[in-house]
A and B are shown apart, each in its own frame.
Chain A
Amino acid sequence: MGRITLDKVTKRFGDVEVIPPLDLTIEDGEFVVFVGPSGCGKSTLLRLIAGLEDVSGGQIRIDGQDATELPPAKRGLAMVFQSYALYPHMTVRKNIAFPLKMAKMDQAEIDKRVNNAASVLNLTNYLDRRPGQLSGGQRQRVAIGRSIVREPAAFLFDEPLSNLDAALRVGMRLEISELHKRLETTMIYVTHDQVEAMTMADKIVVLQAGVIEQVGSPLELYKSPKNKFVAGFIGSPKMNFIEGQEAAKYDAHTIGIRPEHLAASATEGAWKGTVGVSEHLGSDTFLYVHDTGLGEALTVRVSGEFNLRHGDTVYLTPEADKIHRFNAEGLSI
């Protein structure tokens, strides 16, 4: 069981309030991702749940029990750190066994659980190595192994993939998702990478300056962002925002249109511009279109190849039903 409830939780460092009163419920078995730009308080929030930081006010409940004052070890949570925080002088086996040894479990049970975790994570051949002799992805798996042997109520991940190279990151992303499906344990995952959030989460919590901007499933956030911040943060490449006259046509202060909802043509369309840089990804082409008279350059995502060159004239047409409208406060209309 791992239902975590935050009730008016606040955190102050001195006079600075980094997290104003915040309410959040995380259901048992959910994969929740905290996402936001760096410095938005997502890691602090995770550390508050872990008990590594004391809350300045409010209550944290785990499975209905008040855990606000409990020390980290008593909360039944396990954490995977950004630096993995493996113990360098212990072998992989001892690293994974450490929490069990601290819990004074008997040796036979420890061995059984460590071997089990090692086989789940493909670490069986590395049990007698030191962390220094492992690759980044293997260290990551050891860190995960160390957390799963305790059979915690919930897993906390603090940007666990940010130290890995791009290819490995995709692989580990899958492994963690796979692990979640198999264990069906609550997982809270902190990242600044919205792609990780979109691909892994059951529920995304978008944070900015310690405030929850929106909570919802990945597609909810993509399709109906509550405000300009969420709209701009979720989705890659970023949503285009257009203000002024063009927005007024749609009865809004600002309109937003995702790059994939703009059609580009060499001959006709609603907006005329000049092609700037184009990025060819093979499956897609990203065009940066300048001089449209709509403010900043617009990003356009075109499927497949696109044969306009730098400096050519291009016409863009938005899909009318995919336009997001925002009022002067930046809230969705």
Chain B
Amino acid sequence: MATQHSRSAARIMMAPAVTLLLGWMLVPLIATLYLSFRDYRPMRGGDLGFAGLENYTRFIGSSSFWPSILTTLIIVGGVLAITIVFGVLLALLLDRPMWGQGVVRILVIAPFFVMPTVSALVWKNMFMDPTNGLLAHLWRFFGADPVVWMSEQSLLSIIIIVSWQWLPFATLILLTAIQSLDGEQLEASEMDGAPTLARFWYIILPHLSRAITIVLLIQTIFLLSIFAEIFVTTGGAFGTKTLTYLIFQRISESQAVGLGSAGGVYAIILANIVAIFLMRIVGKNLD
């Protein structure tokens, strides 16, 4: 019953929400774009005028730029790989009927409710501390030298911490996908002579492909901008400086807002490249 009249009424009613969202998105974007062309240093002389493309060339010319991009991609890729592989395995495990299923499922989701700052600090101080951490005790129990996680294995530490946070999300989405698999398909493949591993490979995994795509896309968006986990653990040292963190350092530590804003524009471009890339690879699963 979408008459001309009801359609225009619908447009009017949606307008406030659309306007608000548009403003919410456009104001910071325009501010970033504007500042990226200014030489703006708040504590060191304020706005020093139009800078042309200098911020862009300086940001990309910095020796930290390409390493930060690489670090970002390693962290995103590592976390995605770990959460999807273990997410699928955990989902398979949780799908099995067992005693205390409800409680176990809630426990599995729990890490997702912990704030990133808190979980990173807990990992840093309770698990990965080289003298008092649980992992150090474990290493010593087996007679090994404890790993100095934050400095020697800094990138791995961050990947572990972030994976721990995002694993529940992946598990949850994949679990619901597994539960929607038609049991008769599995029985049919059993009759067709497919052993357990083949059933997983030919039936379960293709069924999960759509859910995996969704996990991949959503996580990538969030992982490109992780910040708190790095801030409270390594502070960007030991090769853990991601693009986000580099921008933060340029703005707050070097007081170069214009330079940081130019970095922000690069971050938007990177995110879009990754997004288009992912959509191309996995988009066919979403039809």
Q: Which residues of A are in contact with B by a Cβ distance under 8 Å? A: 50, 52, 71-73, 77-79, 81-83, 85-90, 98-99, 102-103, 146, 150
Contacts and interface: CB of A to CB of B under 8 A. Distances in A.
Contact of B191 (A50, A82, A86, A103): A50
Contact of A98 (B187, B195, B202): B202
B192 A81 contact: no
Nearest to A80: B188
B182 interface: yes
A75 to B, nearest CB: 9
A129 to B, nearest CB: 15
B198 A102 contact: yes
A107 to B, nearest CB: 17
Contacts of A99: 191-193
Contact of B189 (A71, A77, A82, A87): A87
Given A83-B182, A87-B202, A87-B203, A103 B193 contact: yes
B185 A78 contact: no
Interface in B138-188: 182, 184-185, 187-188
A85 B206 contact: no
A78 B190 CA distance: 10
B193 A81 contact: no
Interface of B: 182, 184-185, 187-195, 198, 202-203, 206-207, 209
A272 B40 CA distance: 106
A73 B184 contact: no
Nearest to B193: A73
Contacts of A103: 193
A99 B195 CA distance: 11
6 contacts: A52-B190, A73-B193, A78-B191, A81-B187, A89-B206, A98-B192
Contacts of B182: 83, 85
B194 A102 contact: yes
A103 to B, nearest CB: 6
Interface class of chain A by DSSP: loop
Q: Name the residue among B185, B193, B206 with the largest chain A CB count within 10 angstroms.
A: B193
A83 B186 CA distance: 12
B185 A85 contact: yes
Interface class of chain B by DSSP: helix
Given A87-B202, A87-B203, A102 B184 contact: no
Contacts of B202: 87, 90, 98
Nearest to B187: A52
Contacts of B198: 102
Contact of A79 (B188, B203, B207): B188
B193 A87 contact: no
B188 A85 contact: yes
B191 A77 contact: yes
Contacts of A78: 191
Given A83-B182, A83-B184, A89 B192 contact: no
A89 B193 CA distance: 18
A98 B189 contact: yes
B202 to A, nearest CB: 7
Nearest to B206: A89
7 closest A-B pairs by CB: A73-B193, A85-B188, A99-B192, A85-B184, A89-B206, A102-B193, A81-B184
Contacts of A81: 184, 187-188
B184 to A, nearest CB: 4
Nearest to A75: B191
Contacts of A85: 182, 184-185, 187-188
Nearest to A73: B193
Contacts of B191: 50, 52, 72-73, 77-79, 99
Nearest to A52: B187
Contacts of A73: 190-194
A150 B194 CA distance: 13
A89 B190 contact: no
Contacts of B188: 79, 81, 85-87, 146
Q: Name the residue among B184, B185, B192, B198 with the largest chain A CB count within 10 angstroms.
A: B192
Q: Name the residue among B190, B191, B198 with the largest chain A CB count within 10 angstroms.
A: B191
A3 B99 CA distance: 42
Contacts of A87: 185, 188-189, 202-203, 206
A72 B195 CA distance: 11
B126 to A, nearest CB: 44
Contacts of B206: 87, 89-90
B190 A72 contact: yes
A52 B189 CA distance: 11
Contacts of A146: 188, 192
Contacts of A86: 185, 188
A218 B149 CA distance: 78
A61 to B, nearest CB: 19
A83 B194 CA distance: 19
A83 B207 CA distance: 17
Contacts of B185: 85-87
Q: Name the residue among A73, A82, A90 with the largest chain B CB count within 10 angstroms.
A: A73
B198 to A, nearest CB: 6
A152 to B, nearest CB: 9
A78 to B, nearest CB: 7
B173 to A, nearest CB: 19
Given A52-B190, A77-B191, A99-B193, 13 more contacts: A72-B190, A73-B191, A81-B188, A82-B184, A83-B182, A83-B184, A87-B188, A87-B202, A88-B207, A89-B207, A90-B206, A102-B192, A102-B193
